[in-house]
Amino acid sequence: MLLVMRLQITSAGMTDIHQVLADHHRYWGERDLRPLHLVALVQEFGETCLVARAGDGIHGYVLGFVTPTGTGYVHLIATRDDARGTGLGRRLYTEFADAAHRHGAQRLKAITSPGNTGSIAFHRRLGFDVQTVDDYNGPGRTMMVFRRALPFDVDLREPEPS
């Protein structure tokens, strides 16, 4: 039987964040990123903190905000272990980009650690430039910095061979 679950992307609420924290390993595996799930982001930037939910819970989420200089900054994005590779990460970014654009963003930015090769490949696929920035997180703490102009509606798929 093929079960098609209807996914809805909406603003994140405090209950959602607690749910995500309870199931943290399903989004982040062994990495403990719980301290980065800042309540203030959800409370103050509700329009750019989004969850994708279906009947069986939260499939993915993005927490971000728009800076005063027009950058839509993605602080965290993750899809649940059983929802990966289905296009959900792209959908979440698209919704975030639309929301950020409505709130004045002209570009997107995100960061990740050099070892997060999945995130680097994902961001490249979504059209981000990738830069290695030494000392970004303090002395000796290199980070990968992703940047991309808005709007987000460019079709980045390879053309079909003719």
Ligand X SMILES: CC(C)(COP(=O)(O)OP(=O)(O)OC[C@H]1O[C@@H](n2cnc3c(N)ncnc32)[C@H](O)[C@@H]1OP(=O)(O)O)[C@@H](O)C(=O)NCCC(=O)NCCS
Closer residue to ligand X (CB): 90 or 107 = 90
Q: Which residue has the tokens 């698209």?
A: 94
Bridge partner residues of 51 (DSSP):
10, 61
Q: Among the candidate windows 15-23, 44-52, 80-88, 131-139, which touches ligand X by CB under 6 A?
A: 80-88
Q: Among the candidate windows 46-54, 63-71, 77-85, 101-109, which touches ligand X by CB under 6 A?
A: 77-85
Can you tell me the distance from the alpha carbon of 97 to that of 60, in angstroms, rounded to the nearest whole number? 16
Does 79 interact with ligand X (rule: CB under 6 A)?
yes
Q: Which residue has the tokens 């970004």?
A: 136
**What's the angle, vertex CA 39, arms to CA 33 and CA 42, rounded to 5?**
105
What kind and span of H or E run contains 39? helix 39-44
Within positions 126 to 155, which residues make up the interface with ligand X, using CB under 6 A? none
Does 107 interact with ligand X (rule: CB under 6 A)?
no
Helix, strand, coil percentages, rounded to 5, for the chain: 35, 30, 40
Longest dimension (CA), the chain: 54
In the complex, least distance from residue 45 CB atom to ligand X, rounded to whole angstroms = 17
In the complex, least distance from residue 84 CB atom to ligand X, rounded to whole angstroms = 4
Instruction: State which of residues 7, 24, 26, 28 lies at the interface with ligand X (CB under 6 A).
Output: 28
Closer residue to ligand X (CB): 45 or 122 = 122
In the complex, least distance from residue 82 CB atom to ligand X, rounded to whole angstroms = 11
